[in-house]
Structure 1
Amino acid sequence: MGTNELYPAERLAAARRATAAAGLDALLLTPGSDLRYLTGYDAHAGERLTCLVLPAEGEPTLIVPVLERPAAEAAPAAGVRIVDHADGTDPYPLVRAALPGPVAAVGLADRMWAEQVLALRAALPDATQRLAAEVLRELRIRKSPAEVAALAEAGAAIDAVHRRMGEWLRPGRTEAEVAADIAAAIRAAGHVTVDFVIVAAGPHGASPHHGTSDRPIRAGEPVVVDIGGTMPSGYRSDCTRTYVAGGPAPAEFTDYYTVLYEAQRAAVAAVRPGVTAEAVDAAARDVITAAGYGDAFLHRTGHGIGLDTHEEPYVVAGNPRPLEAGMAFSVEPGIYLAGRHGARIEDIVVCTTDGGQRLNTTPTELIAL
């Protein structure tokens, strides 16, 4: 898949129209997923200013440190003027110079560093600062066919890592030792970065964001493995499976894993256009609650995924947004019993024109190694 398919030039024009419609004079985007979405440029985030100035009317300008100009020029973006600045010079007047006419309101990248926010406030003292997400959320929330293909490629790569888990996950090895092997395999499977590796055995499995530790894995302990990375395309993977190695799992665990398995299947089956995000959450949560484990499901059912691991739409109670074709998100219910063990099953699912498509295809049954 070519970068021009993933990062088409018309995105800039669409963003300019949406900027004007939102009553903003410009978007100001520092390194991050919004900048990459519009230009394909995976910019380095540092103390030197990199900023895409996208006026509602007028040509876009990418302001970069002079030492990073070659990387910016190699990005897929077409029709973006590049202006560089040398160390020791103030780059913020370049932002003002790239904006035609008076500026009353600008949209800033949601995760812009505070020092840059304040410097832009000083450079544009008459401009109200709002979030660029007001404009870009609606552009990014529905994935193009090329983006879905990139997410499917990421899903296949992380599936390949899960299929190898029996090589590494054995009683007596520590969570950290297993995680190191997994991280190497994530890269070997085609990812350019490892974003996270959770290996949570026994009581650690009851903490959804545990990470790893030097505690050895014991025979028959449930182990939650949640892993993800970024592909060369910029698109992300995220998949969780729960394993048992070296012996039978506790009977209590296998009982509630069966509940979790049915809950995850029910939520995936609920995905189709017009169904709300909160209804998908309820499809999983109702199964778990009916079995008596409602208080042990500690988090939302899912999050959108694309150039960020967590983005819109969020599959959570209180989100009445109807699903639309092209929306991509995780479906990952979990059950967590403090001090004992836990389990989570996570697939990335894309809403299609008539249902949902799982991008992770490994089995979701409890996996005995």
Structure 2
Amino acid sequence: MTLAPDSPEEIRARLDKVARLVAESAADAVVLTPGADLRYLTGYDAMLSERLTCLVVPASGTPMLIAPTLEKSLAAASVAAGLGVEVRGWDETDNPSDMVVDLVPRPTDRPRAIAVADRMWAQHLFGIHYAAPDAKLTSAATIMAAMRMVKSEVEVEALARAGDAIDSVHAQMGELLKVGMAERQVAHEIAAAIRASGHATVDFTIVGSGPNGASPHHEYADRVISAGDVVVVDIGGTMPDGYCSDSTRTYVVGGEPTKEVSEFYDVLQSAQEAAVQFVRPGVTAEEIDATAREIITTAGHGEHFLHRTGHGIGLEVHEHPYIVEGNDRTIEAGMAFSIEPGIYLEGRYGARIEDIVVCTDDSVRRLNNRDHALVALPG
């Protein structure tokens, strides 16, 4: 039987591990509000609002899932609630921050230390601060990033399903991307294909044609695609189980690439392939980045490679580890991240190739398997 990423077995293992890590840390508890961290530990995709919902995991004792009373039944239906995590509701006239602080152990020799989610809303952060003004508030990222960076086999297979789904959308590009269409129209058609492929949501559709392709995070505009345009298509979404896809391919529409474009793209393809093949346990994130960057720089395009080589992926499209110069984190088996070098010639065109890969026990596994060549579409 294939387990789901939010199966009781997976959630139980995560809760046990986070409890150990909190006990080993300098924090007396972690407090996690709605988002990827909360879903990772509870299976509860909670609503993010001005009403505080959070998971409190103390260094000792039972974790508590706190929710407004009007959402308590939703929290109580979560996987974690069936595994012994207590669910406590609060009424509109209550102060939930006081409830949170009361659950944090009180050391006798120092002020309390509370590790909070990086993306906690400021109003909730201030609420905890006002409820415990002497407490030291720190980031929970040290604990949560360490946990979420290394994927279980179940998570890897969830990412593989997401990769297959987004690959199926790239396979339709000959029908979706044509001369005479505006980028906006193409993006709309792609978004429909992403949903039809099995994704629950569309997270982004980048359609960068001609000079727009030289802006890495250009989304789409009213520019009409012309014959011979180089078009960067970077797309991704979230599957029903919460795991994300992200893949980029570059196309030439309505003609064959020029010699200049072909040579330019050959450099990029060599850099991307070299970086993928370099991935294995024991190398560092910055060494993977340097592998791609050196090839592009040697070819004279170093200044045109504007961003890091990659980012982690899982319940969020962008998460740790980041594949970038200065990150000396050692890559471990189970880490999943993108390899996506790009070259961007301002005012002319750009290109990017992106695969999600997973570090295995001794090598690397690609989760995107569409052709890496510069694809010429008939237009």
Q: TM-score range by the shorter chain?
A: over 0.9
Q: Does 1:261 align with 2:269?
A: yes
Following superposition, the deviation at residue 37 of structure 1 comes to 1.1
User: Contact (CA 8 Å) 1:143, 1:328: kept in 2 or not?
Assistant: yes
Following superposition, the deviation at residue 5 of structure 1 comes to 6.2
User: Contact (CA 8 Å) 1:33, 1:308: kept in 2 or not?
Assistant: yes
User: Contact (CA 8 Å) 1:19, 1:25: kept in 2 or not?
Assistant: yes
Following superposition, the deviation at residue 71 of structure 1 comes to 2.0
Identify the residue that residue 63 of structure 2 maps to in structure 1: 60
Aligned residue for 1:7, secondary structure, equals: helix
**In 1, Cα distance between the equivalents of 2:93 and 2:224?**
51
Choose which of 157, 160, 167 in structure 1 pairs with 2:165: 157
**In 2, Cα distance between the equivalents of 1:240 and 1:5?**
34
Identify the residue that residue 298 of structure 1 maps to in structure 2: 306
User: Contact (CA 8 Å) 2:106, 2:112: kept in 1 or not?
Assistant: no
Matches within 5 A, 1:84-95: 84-95=89-100
Identify the residue that residue 209 of structure 1 maps to in structure 2: 217
Choose which of 183, 186, 200 in structure 1 pairs with 2:191: 183
Identify the residue that residue 325 of structure 1 maps to in structure 2: 333
* Count of aligned pairs between the two proteins: 369
Aligned residue for 2:343, secondary structure, equals: strand
Bigger mean CA offset, 90-99 vs 178-187: 90-99
User: Contact (CA 8 Å) 1:5, 1:146: kept in 2 or not?
Assistant: no
Following superposition, the deviation at residue 248 of structure 1 comes to 2.4
Q: Does 1:99 align with 2:104?
A: yes
Matches within 5 A, 1:82-231: 82-102=87-107, 104-231=112-239
Aligned residue for 2:265, secondary structure, equals: helix
AA matched with 1:124:
A
Q: Does 1:23 align with 2:31?
A: no
TM-score relative to the length of structure 2:
0.95
User: Contact (CA 8 Å) 2:207, 2:232: kept in 1 or not?
Assistant: yes
Q: Does 1:34 align with 2:42?
A: no
Q: How big is each residue's C-alpha offset from its partner over 1:189-210, in whole Å with a ceiling of 9 and x where there is no partner?
A: 1111111110000000000000
**In 2, Cα distance between the equivalents of 1:24 and 1:200?**
45
Q: Identity of paired residues, percent?
A: 56
AA matched with 2:118:
D
User: Contact (CA 8 Å) 2:11, 2:40: kept in 1 or not?
Assistant: no
User: Contact (CA 8 Å) 2:336, 2:358: kept in 1 or not?
Assistant: yes
AA matched with 1:99:
V
Following superposition, the deviation at residue 100 of structure 1 comes to 4.2
Following superposition, the deviation at residue 101 of structure 1 comes to 3.7
Identify the residue that residue 249 of structure 1 maps to in structure 2: 257
User: Contact (CA 8 Å) 2:331, 2:359: kept in 1 or not?
Assistant: yes
Q: How big is each residue's C-alpha offset from its partner over 1:319-338, in whole Å with a ceiling of 9 and x where there is no partner?
A: 12221100110000000000
Identify the residue that residue 13 of structure 1 maps to in structure 2: 16
Following superposition, the deviation at residue 167 of structure 1 comes to 1.2
Aligned residue for 1:8, secondary structure, equals: helix
Following superposition, the deviation at residue 216 of structure 1 comes to 0.7
**In 1, Cα distance between the equivalents of 2:192 and 2:318?**
23
The answer for unaligned runs of 5 or more in structure 1 is none
User: Contact (CA 8 Å) 1:7, 1:39: kept in 2 or not?
Assistant: no
Bigger mean CA offset, 248-257 vs 343-352: 248-257
Q: Does 1:50 align with 2:53?
A: yes
User: Contact (CA 8 Å) 1:300, 1:316: kept in 2 or not?
Assistant: yes
AA matched with 2:279:
V
Bigger mean CA offset, 72-81 vs 118-127: 72-81
CA RMSD of aligned residues (A): 1.3
Identify the residue that residue 75 of structure 2 maps to in structure 1: 72
**In 2, Cα distance between the equivalents of 1:96 and 1:273?**
40
User: Contact (CA 8 Å) 2:101, 2:132: kept in 1 or not?
Assistant: yes
Following superposition, the deviation at residue 24 of structure 1 comes to 0.5
Q: Does 1:336 align with 2:344?
A: yes
User: Contact (CA 8 Å) 1:304, 1:311: kept in 2 or not?
Assistant: yes
Q: How big is each residue's C-alpha offset from its partner over 1:42-78, in whole Å with a ceiling of 9 and x where there is no partner?
A: 1111111101111111111111122222221222212
Identify the residue that residue 285 of structure 2 maps to in structure 1: 277
Following superposition, the deviation at residue 87 of structure 1 comes to 2.9
Q: How big is each residue's C-alpha offset from its partner over 1:159-205, in whole Å with a ceiling of 9 and x where there is no partner?
A: 11111111110011111101011111111111111111100000000
AA matched with 2:122:
A
User: Contact (CA 8 Å) 1:143, 1:327: kept in 2 or not?
Assistant: yes
TM-score relative to the length of structure 1:
0.97
Following superposition, the deviation at residue 150 of structure 1 comes to 0.7
Identify the residue that residue 296 of structure 2 maps to in structure 1: 288
Q: How big is each residue's C-alpha offset from its partner over 1:16-49, in whole Å with a ceiling of 9 and x where there is no partner?
A: 1111211110001100111111111111111111
AA matched with 1:62:
L
Following superposition, the deviation at residue 299 of structure 1 comes to 0.6
**In 1, Cα distance between the equivalents of 2:284 and 2:105?**
41
AA matched with 2:87:
I
Q: How big is each residue's C-alpha offset from its partner over 1:130-174, in whole Å with a ceiling of 9 and x where there is no partner?
A: 000121121111111011011101111111111111111001111
AA matched with 1:137:
A
Q: How big is each residue's C-alpha offset from its partner over 1:230-273, in whole Å with a ceiling of 9 and x where there is no partner?
A: 11111111000001111123332221001101110100010111
Following superposition, the deviation at residue 6 of structure 1 comes to 7.3
Residues 5, 302 of structure 1: alpha-carbon distance in 2 compared, 3 angstrom cutoff:
farther
**In 2, Cα distance between the equivalents of 1:129 and 1:252?**
54
**In 2, Cα distance between the equivalents of 1:248 and 1:88?**
67
